[in-house]
Amino acid sequence: MFTGIVEELGTVVSVEDTGDGVRLTVDGPLVTSDAKHGDSIAVNGVCLTVVESGGGRFTVDVVQETVRRSAIRNVAAGDRVNLERAMALGDRLGGHIVQGHVDGTAVLRGSDDDLTRFELPAELSHYLVEKGSITVDGISLTVVEAGRTEFSVALIPTTRELTTLGVRRPGEEVNIEVDVLAKHLERLAAAQLDQFRAGASGS
């Protein structure tokens, strides 16, 4: 579990094709200061498991499903990535509840009127509401505008300075995780609606 508050901008050292996924080695002195084998670190919002660490670097294996679903497939050596360690019990929840389970990707369209705009798949857009939470590349952000296939956020200078959104260019893909509470509510509402329809048809 994460909060979407990026702790460190790391640098990808290497990307190795393993046949059934990729192995990433990332330079991140802060997040590796107490990292152990089996710990979770979010890389651009993707929860990954540490398999090796030392010398300020850590290595993770990324399975093909994660490569397919996320923008990790575009990562190359030298790229900057957002890093966050899993939250500890009792930590402040500075952002919102983030699982590190990416739902898909969006495309950065650009910035205007102090807003940064993204285009996302229509099947994800209904989870977004104005003033609701969304995770972009592992960053907890507040939705300013929510459309059918796009949304916008307002970025403060600190976010631009300390995260990948400060170097992203129009046309680039970013990882998106919608609010898990919205997904649970949808599931519960669908079950209730099915029960109502079944009752109505039997009356």
Q: Which of 85, 115, 149 is the last residue of a domain?
A: 85
Same domain? For 176 and 108 the reply is yes
Paired residues of 60 in beta bridges:
24, 50
Please check whether residue 125 lies inside any domain of the structure.
yes
Give yes or no for residue 190 having a pLDDT over 80. Answer: no
Q: What is the DSSP letter of 74?
A: G
Same domain? For 71 and 138 the reply is no
**Which tens digit of pLDDT belongs to each residue from 146-168?**
999 999 999 999 999 999 999 99
Please check whether residue 148 lies inside any domain of the structure.
yes
Paired residues of 174 in beta bridges:
106
pTM: 0.88
Same domain? For 110 and 170 the reply is yes
CATH number for the domain harbouring residue 136: 2.40.30.20
Give yes or no for residue 101 having a pLDDT over 70. Answer: yes
Same domain? For 15 and 54 the reply is yes
Q: Which of 51, 85, 119 is the last residue of a domain?
A: 85
Same domain? For 29 and 79 the reply is yes
**Which tens digit of pLDDT belongs to each residue from 22-56?**
999 999 999 999 999 999 999 999 999 999 999 99
Separation of alpha carbons 75 and 52, rounded Å: 19
Same domain? For 116 and 178 the reply is yes
Average pLDDT, the chain: 91
Give yes or no for residue 137 having a pLDDT over 90. Answer: yes
Separation of alpha carbons 66 and 140, rounded Å: 20
Same domain? For 117 and 68 the reply is no
Overall number of domains in the chain: 2
Q: Which of 57, 85, 113 is the last residue of a domain?
A: 85
Q: Note the maximum CA span of the chain.
A: 69
User: What is the C-alpha end-to-end distance of the chain, expressed in Å?
Assistant: 45
DSSP string covering 101-151, please? ---EEEEEEEEETTEEEEE--HHHHTT--TT-EEEETTEEEEEEEE-SSEE
pLDDT band at 200 (very low <50, low <70, confident <90, very high): low
Nearest-5° angle of CA 168, CA 31, CA 139? 35
| pLDDT at residue 25, rounded to an integer | 98
Same domain? For 79 and 125 the reply is no
User: Mean per-residue pLDDT for 61-76?
Assistant: 95
| pLDDT at residue 199, rounded to an integer | 64
Instruction: Tell me the two tokens of residue 94.
Output: 């500075």
Q: Calculate the alpha carbon distances from 175 to 33, 148, 166, 196 in Å.
A: 26, 18, 15, 36
User: Mean per-residue pLDDT for 180-195?
Assistant: 74
Helices and strands (H and E) in the chain: how many: 4, 12
Same domain? For 55 and 113 the reply is no
Write b or e for each residue in 68-100: b if 16 or more Cβ atoms lie within 10 A of its Cβ, otherwise e.
Answer: ebbbbeebeeeebbbbbbebeeeeeeebbbbeb
Please check whether residue 90 lies inside any domain of the structure.
no
Domain residue limits at 74: 8-85
Same domain? For 80 and 16 the reply is yes
Please check whether residue 173 lies inside any domain of the structure.
yes
**Which tens digit of pLDDT belongs to each residue from 48-64?**
999 999 999 999 999 99
